[in-house]
Chain A
């Protein structure tokens, strides 16, 4: 464990909590892509299947349980509790455009052709595109509430810190996980465009981020 990965995990946790609290307190999920949240729940489910078979550390186990619980709670709030505030017509990204390539690729490129490895690889590839429906919704509606942008900011920060973590681990312990690194870099690139908008729009005072 290093400071970059710890900070990354904390940012990830903060992002998930920001979103969950926003939905719970505003009792609305307007402007939030339910599809992205479903994809994140699938990512955690397919990645943490080893929760009961492999014990790494208390931290690892606890964080996995917390991420699973919070992501399912978010999906529950969106599709069940506050479903009347869910504007599904704006959440129109075609998930099959993501799932088909990701499933295909995880069968082609993996470390071992075993169910657990393929599901882990699937979760890695899926995570790199899971935010697409949310970013698509923002470009479609042309705006994002500031809380949603803070959520995306911390999510992007988590990915950037994971890249720093991989650089650190490569130089200190020679660790290099090709699938995770390539997928993580692709995922972080999606946030770069958003980071620019976040800094120029949201942090300059305007509550809403309106796209040009």
Chain B
């Protein structure tokens, strides 16, 4: 699994 990105998009 890819690293969990910072979810900055709406």
B1 touches A110 (CB 8 A): yes
A147 interfacial by beta-carbon distance below 8 Å: no
B2 touches A60 (CB 8 A): no
B1 touches A177 (CB 8 A): no
B8 touches A56 (CB 8 A): yes
B10 touches A120 (CB 8 A): no
B2 touches A178 (CB 8 A): yes
B10 touches A111 (CB 8 A): no
A118 to chain B minimum Cβ distance, whole angstroms, is 12
A60 touches B8 (CB 8 A): yes
Give B6's nearest chain A residue, CB to CB. Answer: A56
How many residues on the A side are at the interface (Cβ–Cβ under 8 A)? 23
B6 to chain A minimum Cβ distance, whole angstroms, is 7
B6 touches A111 (CB 8 A): no
Interface residues of A in 152-207 (CB under 8 A from B): 162, 165, 175, 177-178, 180
Cross-chain contact of A60 among B3, B4, B5, B10 (Cβ < 8 A): B10
B10 touches A63 (CB 8 A): yes
- Residues on A with beta carbons closer than 8 Å to the beta carbon of B9: 5, 162, 165, 177, 180
> Roughly how many angstroms separate A67 CA and B4 CA in the complex, as a whole number?
24
A67 touches B1 (CB 8 A): no
> Roughly how many angstroms separate A91 CA and B8 CA in the complex, as a whole number?
34
> Roughly how many angstroms separate A64 CA and B10 CA in the complex, as a whole number?
7
> Roughly how many angstroms separate A180 CA and B5 CA in the complex, as a whole number?
11
- Residues on B with beta carbons closer than 8 Å to the beta carbon of A110: 1
B7 touches A54 (CB 8 A): yes
- Residues on A with beta carbons closer than 8 Å to the beta carbon of B1: 110-113
11 example contacts (A-B, Cβ-Cβ < 8 A) are as follows A9-B10, A50-B7, A56-B7, A57-B8, A111-B2, A112-B4, A113-B1, A117-B4, A165-B9, A177-B9, A178-B2
